[in-house]
Amino acid sequence: MLLIQAAADQPFAADKGQVTKAWQTLAETLMASDKFTRIVDAKKVQHRFGLLVDEHRKFDMASSRLSGVDEEETEKHMVLDDILSQLEDVKLLATAKQSATSEDKNTVEQDGVYVREMAMQTLKRRAEASKVGEVSKKKAASEGRRNSLLSTLEKEGERELALRDKELEFKRFKFESDLKQREYEREERKAEREHQLALARIESDKISTLLNAVLESRK
């Protein structure tokens, strides 16, 4: 019951600072059910969840079918398979957010350096121009060249920023595509597990029918 509720609520995907609250909510949901008879809190359910996940990471579904794991255990491992996939998605999303935040920060810092350099160059040129006692015509020509240079630098800066925006957009698109692919693969795995479970039930029913027939024949 803990695993099914955890897969539905996903407290492990809560935002930083809200994780304990999310697990406590799950604990209260469990205790509100008539089928759950234990007294638990956030710490207990989170610890139990971690143990089950760690145990499942070492579990081999193929060998379990050969060794005759019962239907209840098979369903438990199916839920744990989905949870492991969810945990991987949460980890991937956190890594992507951290990377995007770092890139945005670097972009802002680089843009700030670029703007400061342009300002310093402009001030330097103005200081040099003020020292030269040129006639109005030469001063106007110098001002025109300076404005032209500033315009060129501004356009270069705009192109650079546009390129960075496109790169960030591409990375976001790739990340979203990867998430969709993982969702598709998870659904495929789920369908396969349900198929295997159905086969296991059929096989179990056959064995049960056969045993009943043998017992009836001995009466």
So what's the architecture of 59-217 in CATH? Orthogonal Bundle (1.10)
Distances (CA, A) of 84 to 64, 94, 126, 141, 172: 18, 15, 63, 69, 24
Of the two residues 146 and 50, the one the predictor is more confident about is: 50
Start-end of CATH 1.10.287 domains in the chain: 59-217
CB 142 within 8 A of CB 74: no
pLDDT of residue 89: 82
Give the tens place of pLDDT for each residue, 61-85.
555 544 455 555 667 777 888 888 8
Q: How many CA atoms lie within 13 A of 132 on its CB side?
A: 14
The Cβ of residue 11 has, within 10 Å, a number of other Cβ atoms equal to 21
The Cβ of residue 207 has, within 10 Å, a number of other Cβ atoms equal to 10
Give the tens place of pLDDT for each residue, 161-189.
888 888 888 888 888 888 888 888 888 88
| Spatial separation of the C-alpha atoms in residues 201 and 206, rounded to whole Å | 9
Give the tens place of pLDDT for each residue, 100-138.
666 666 665 666 666 567 656 666 666 565 555 554 555
| Spatial separation of the C-alpha atoms in residues 49 and 86, rounded to whole Å | 14
